[in-house]
Amino acid sequence: MNHLLPILSTLRRHRIAAGLIVLEVALSFAIVSNAVHVIGQRLGQLNADSGLPEAELLNLELRNTRRLENRDALSAEDLRRLRALPGVKNVSIPNQVIYGNNINVSGVNTEPDNRGQRVQAFSYSGDEQLLPTMGLRLIGGRAFTPEDVQLDSKIAAEADPKLPVVIVNKALAEALAPGESPLTLLGRSVYVFGNQPSQVVGIVENLGPPNPRHTTDRAAVLLPIGESYASGSYLVRVQPGQAEAVIQAARQIFKEVEPSRLLTNARLLTEMRERHYAQDRAMVGLLLGVCLALLLITALGIVGLASFWVEQRGRMIGIRRALGATRADIRRYFQQENLLLCGVGVVLGSGAALGINQWLVQSQGLPVLPLWYLLPATAALLGLGQLAVLAPAQRASGVAPALAMRSS
Amino acid sequence: MWLEHLKNAWRSLRRSPVLSALMVGALGLGVGICMTTLTVYHVLTADPIPGKGDQLYEVQIDAGNLIGYRPGEEPTFQLTRDDGEALLAAAKAKRQALMTGAFMAVRGPDERVPPEILPLRQTSADFFAMFNAPIALGAPWNAQDDQNEARVAVLSHELNQRLFGGANSVGQAIHVAGNELRVVGVLKPWKVDPYVFDLTLGAYGREEMLFMPFSTARALKLGRAGNMNCWGETGGKSPLERGTPCAWLQYWVELDSPAQAQDYRNYLLQYSAEQQKAGRFQRAPNVRLRNVPEVMAFREVLPADVRLQTGLAFAFLLVCLVNMVGLQLAKTLRRSGEIGVRRALGARRATVFAQFLVESALIGLLGAGLGLLLALGGLWLVRQGPADYAGLARLDTAMLGITLGLSLLASLLAGVLPAWRATQLNPAIQLKVQ
């Protein structure tokens, strides 16, 4: 910064123009750094791993078009035939699937009568094939056996239903036994349905909420309940690349078993995931576009004002050149001036960025902006400033010393 | 004189085409982005029942048990079947409607055409008059039909097109989940956005195809769709039956004045007190009565992303403005010599000021034109997007006017400082420098 003093004294005589550049840089910086923060947060959600083999999981939803009384028998027949299909590994009927429309929540208590530790957990029900179908990994205990499973229609008709065993996910185990290893929950009783105890027989790690975009809650419980096609949807784990063939075969099966039902949805979880996050993806695109436009406009503004300055100071440049300043000196002078202005803008903008972030934290529930997130925006704006001033500075360095003499 | 100013302004813009294009471009971009997001904001916050939103109230009654109870907390936003039916029978408001959404298989008279799963509403007779549903053919069912669990239905315009090719279908039979219903009325095209009376199935872009009596749906043991909150055991019964601790029904009333609303609120408190006395309610009376704008604000119907986008757009416009002030200033000062000559020849400060403001206004007009084009493009992009409100994003005349106004205002604001600087120049110095 060998030009600092002359720069400062020149800027003092162009307070308004200098102030405008600083203001523009500060505003752009505040906006871009927050946009980068939002983009990072959305991308984190978009790329979050559900822990499930999504590319192998096919969700098939069936709807009644008239009242059918033998839903359990129809489901049993559907299941038997689906499981026999080539290309199918496992099939189950959970009451909800990730990225789907259904969300079931139950209170899980450590003591009866809604006393003790109480945690709201996403409740998944399904038969003994649910764990292998969803690819859930046990970190302790066992999976459901066919003997554990009761039909939903039977449980719903009981005044005081009993559910002897349940499986919990790691997050629920940690919430129910705070400060202890999740494995300590194995063998203990929890209360999901009123006063009847259920023993925790297994703990799985990779099970999350059915609506990851809208919640940060992780606790989930698995209930050994056999649903019918009317209270859940078929979740089919297929061999890679077999999805289309299995959909065709399943369509035929449903038609043969009971033709009055409609297959309203047949999608891989990867596709459902795309839809689940489509709005976030659009938002990321929009933010990126606005950031680029903003940087472009800021750059053009700097070019405009810098060109004007160079023109205004032709005489000064000429005199300096005549007094022995090299072309590089002149160029560096303008570059350093720009660096100073942009630097002040970034410092002021940091304050504004944190202010905007405060508003976002309160109104949008966004996390607090980590300070290092300011770095990419700082680099972008300082680099942009240098890039924008390059042409005017080059032009300035080309001013002939004689010009100073002539124009005065 | 103004025409002269305008001519001068145009000449000035032509003299530095790159700089002028830059200013118009930046302003147009800022205005275009602002108008795109403002239009989305505008259509998403519009009154879904035009002119009547402040007379329609959603009823909430706290029927929960004492587990995790905090006195005065927000009651469940839906009612149990017992409470909904009791309020409907008492009919204490000018009009009232009990309702829930559902997805059911619907088929026309032609058996060969397979049924379709369609969104429909199970409600009560006052619904149509309350929400200004426009009737094209026939008439809605009446309270007597509700009592009699009549097998009747009102079709949407769209469904009447699909099943009957738009012909008068009143008196015809249709089948809902295998049950025969008689068409008594057909609606004109009717859009309610957001779908304020039942937000649980998504707020925007919803269109229910068929309306049938709630009582009939219960008699036929039809299913339903949407949010359900149960706080205790159903004792082996379906949660849709009476006597279960499950809230799943929306209940709306029409009240003409705030005074009537106060009376109705008192009635709800009194009803809750009676239920508590009878042992049905465990909690102290706790009710809510919110009209349409209040419901929209309280439930935060406007997507958070739209608020974020609108804020972002205005910040963007602000940067464009600062940018324009800078460029305009540079341009003004570059013309110092010209200003000096004009002032020396007798031009008043006010004239110079007006001249520069006219130039800014001209930029504003050009920016508005560009901004309008960009807003049309932006809204087209929004309509192609994945949001559930995508189809609503269209420019209306009010927004057109605002575009023009915003652009002019922005350019004039940006022009004030440079114009003022121009009047402050000392003509003597400028002439000397020349």
How many angstroms separate the CA atoms of B134 and B185, rounded? 10
Q: How many CB atoms lie within 10 A of CB B237?
A: 15
How wide is the angle at C-alpha B85 spanned by C-alphas B80 and B86, nearest 5°? 100
Q: Answer yes or no: do A165 and A241 share one domain.
A: yes
CB < 8 Å from B in window 129-188 of A: 156-160
Question: Mean pLDDT over residues B310-317, rounded?
Answer: 89
* pLDDT score, position B123: 97
> Which positions 118-157 of B are in contact with A (Cβ < 8 Å)?
none
Average pLDDT over residues B287-306: 90
Q: Is B226 on the interface with A (CB under 8 A)?
A: no
Same domain, A152 and A62: yes
Q: Of A230, A236, A266, which is closest to residue A248 (Cα–Cα)?
A: A266
Predicted confidence at residue B13, as pLDDT, reads 82
DSSP assigned state of A185: G
Q: Name the least confident of B76-85, B98-107, B324-333.
A: B324-333
Q: What is the mean pLDDT of residues B284-303?
A: 91
Q: A300 and B68 in contact by Cβ < 8 A?
A: no
Q: What is the pLDDT of residues A112-171, one digit of tens each?
A: 876 777 888 999 999 999 999 999 999 999 999 999 999 988 888 887 788 899 999 999
ipTM confidence: 0.83
* Sequence-ordered list of residues with C-beta below 8 angstroms from that of B203, at least 6 positions apart, any chain: B193, B194, B195, B196, B301, B388, B389
**Exposed/middle/buried for A180, CB within 10 Å: 0-12, 13-18, 19+?**
exposed
Is the separation of the CB atoms in A300 and B26 below 8 Å? yes
List Cα–Cα distances, B154 to A297, B121, B125, B311, in angstroms.
Answer: 55, 10, 11, 42
User: What are the angstrom distances between the C-alpha of B419 and each of A12, A342, B8?
Assistant: 21, 26, 14
* B234 — pLDDT class (breaks 50, 70, 90): confident
- Asked if pLDDT for residue B101 goes beyond 90, the answer is yes
Residue B292's pLDDT is: 94
Could you read off the pLDDT of A370-386 as tens digits, one per residue?
Answer: 888 888 889 988 998 99
Domain that holds residue A151: 54-275
Q: Which of A78-82, B14-18, B48-52 has the lowest mean pLDDT?
A: B14-18
Q: Is A95 on the interface with B (CB under 8 A)?
A: no
pLDDT at site A405: 61
More confident residue, A347 or B20: A347
How much is the pLDDT for A406? 59
Q: B117 touching A, CB under 8 A?
A: yes
Same domain, A250 and A163: yes
CA A343 to centroid of chain Cα atoms:
32
- Indicate whether A256 and A171 sit together in one domain: yes
Using an 8 Å Cβ cutoff, are A167 and A203 in contact? yes
Task: With CB atoms and an 8 Å threshold, state whether B333 touches A364.
Answer: no
DSSP string, B353-415: HHHHHHHHHHHHHHHHHHHHHHHHHHHHHHHHSS-TTGGG----HHHHHHHHHHHHHHHHHHH
Beta carbons within 10 angstroms of residue B418's beta carbon: 23
Mark yes or no for CB contact B330/A298 under 8 Å. no
User: What phi, psi does B120 have (nearest 5°)?
Assistant: -145, 175
d(CA B46, CA B374): 23
Could you tell me if A218 and A93 lie in one domain? yes
Return mean pLDDT, chain B: 89
Mean pLDDT on B25-45? 88
Same domain, A268 and A284: no
**What type of residue is A362?**
Q
A·B CB contacts under 8 A: 127
> Three-class SS of residue B96?
strand
Residues 301-340 of A with CB under 8 A from B: 301, 304-305, 307-308, 311-312
- Nearest by CB to residue B320, choosing from A21, A297, A360, is A297
Same domain, A261 and A308: no
Measured at the CA of A347, the angle between CA A343 and CA A352, to 5 degrees, comes to 135
Q: Note whether B236 contacts A28, CB cutoff 8 Å.
A: no
A223 to chain B, any CB pair closer than 8 A? The answer is no
Examine the domain organization and report whether A11 and A62 are in the same domain.
no
One domain, residues A299 and A253: no
Query: How far apart are the C-alpha atoms of B405 and B413, rounded to whole Å?
Result: 12
* Cβ contact, residue pair A67, B19, below 8 Å: no
Provide the pLDDT for residue A408. Answer: 44
Who among B177, B309, B327 is closest to A65 (CB)?
A: B177
Is the pLDDT confidence value at B344 over 60? yes
Q: Which of A9-13, B132-136, B148-152 has the lowest mean pLDDT?
A: A9-13
User: Cα separation of B430 and B333, whole Å?
Assistant: 10
Whole-angstrom Cα distance, residue A115 to residue A355? 43
Is A78 in the same domain as A178? yes
Across the interface, whether the CB atoms of A282 and B320 are under 8 A apart is answered: no
Q: Give yes or no for A360 touching B (CB within 8 A).
A: yes
Is B386 in Cβ contact with A63 (below 8 Å)? no
Distances (CA, A) of A151 to A108, A132, A148: 21, 19, 10
Task: Count the Cβ atoms, other than its own, within 10 Å of residue A179.
Answer: 6
And the tokens for A375?
């770095």
pLDDT digits (tens, 9 = 90+) for A290-325: 899 899 889 888 888 888 878 778 778 888 888 888
Q: How far is A237 from chain B (nearest CA, A)?
A: 26
Which percentage of chain B shows pLDDT scores above 70?
Answer: 99
Q: Residue-wise over B285-312: b if at least 16 C-beta within 10 A, else e? A: bbbbbbbbeebbeebebbbebbbbbbbb
Do A308 and B103 make contact, defined as CB atoms within 8 angstroms?
no
Place of tokens 């910086």: A29
Q: Which residues of B, range 383-412, sit inside 8 Å of A by Cβ?
A: 385-387
> Is the same domain home to A307 and A214?
no
The tally of domains found in chain A comes to 2
Same domain, A127 and A165: yes
* Residue where one domain finishes, among candidates A214, A242, A275: A275
| pLDDT exceeds 80 at position B329 | yes
3-state secondary structure of A108: strand
Do the Cβ atoms of B105 and A281 come within 8 Å? no
pLDDT digits (tens, 9 = 90+) for A217-259: 899 999 999 999 988 999 999 999 899 999 999 999 999 999 9
Asked whether the beta carbons of residue B307 and residue A297 sit closer than 8 angstroms, the reply is no
Q: What is the pLDDT of residues A156-180, one digit of tens each?
A: 888 778 889 999 999 999 999 888 8
Q: How far is B104 from chain A (nearest CA, A)?
A: 7
Looking at A244, A275, A306, which one is the last position of a domain?
A: A275
Residue with tokens 């010393």: A401
The structure tokens listed for B6 are: 């305008």
CA distance A243 to A268: 8
- CB of B17 within 8 Å of a chain A CB? The answer is no
Dist CA B132 CA B55 (whole Å): 12
Residues on chain B touching A301 (C-beta within 8 angstroms): 26, 322-323, 326-327
Residue range B400-417: average pLDDT?
85
Identify any residues that bridge with B212 across adjacent strands, giving them in sequence order: B122
Biggest alpha carbon–alpha carbon distance for chain A: 104
Q: Which residues of A touch B323 (CB under 8 A)?
A: 24, 297-298, 300-301
- CB-based contact (8 Å) between A193 and chain B? yes
Amino acid at A191: Y
**Preceding peptide of B194 cis, ω within 30°:** yes
pLDDT at A200 exceeding the cut of 70: yes
Spatial distance between the Cα atoms of B273 and B281, rounded to a whole number of angstroms: 8
Q: Is the pLDDT of residue B328 over 80?
A: yes
CB B181 within 8 A of CB B161: no
pLDDT at B133 over 70: yes
Residues in B closer than 8 angstroms to A287, CB to CB, are 312
Residue that finishes a domain, picked among A275, A300, A315: A275
**Closest by alpha carbon to B305, among A213, A53, A293?**
A213
- Write the residue in A64, A159, A281 that is nearest to B236 by C-beta: A159
